[in-house]
Amino acid sequence: MGTRTIPQVGPTEARRLKRDLRFKAAQTGRHTGDRWRERGRCLSADPEVFFPTTIDDAAPALAMCRECPVLGPCLAAALDAGDSEGVWGGTTPEERRAMRQVWLPEQSSW
| Residue from 22, 76, 88, 96 binding ligand SF4 (CB under 6 A) | 88
| Residue from 42, 76, 98, 99 binding ligand SF4 (CB under 6 A) | 42
Decide if residue 68 touches ligand SF4 (CB under 6 A): yes
Residue 11 backbone dihedrals phi, psi, to 5 degrees: -60, -40
Query: How many beta carbons lie within 10 A of that of residue 110, not counting itself?
Result: 7
Residue 91 backbone dihedrals phi, psi, to 5 degrees: -130, 155
Nearer to ligand SF4, 4 or 35 (CB): 35
Decide if residue 29 touches ligand SF4 (CB under 6 A): no
| Residue from 74, 79, 99, 102 binding ligand SF4 (CB under 6 A) | 74
CA dihedral of 9, 15, 16, 21, whole degrees rounded to 10: 120
Query: How many beta carbons lie within 10 A of that of residue 71, not counting itself?
Result: 23
The least distance separating ligand SF4 from the CB of residue 24, rounded to whole angstroms, comes to 14
Are 3 and 80 within 8 A, CB to CB? no
Please report, as ranges, the residues that interact with ligand SF4 according to CB under 6 A: 40-42, 50, 64-65, 68, 70-71, 74, 87-90
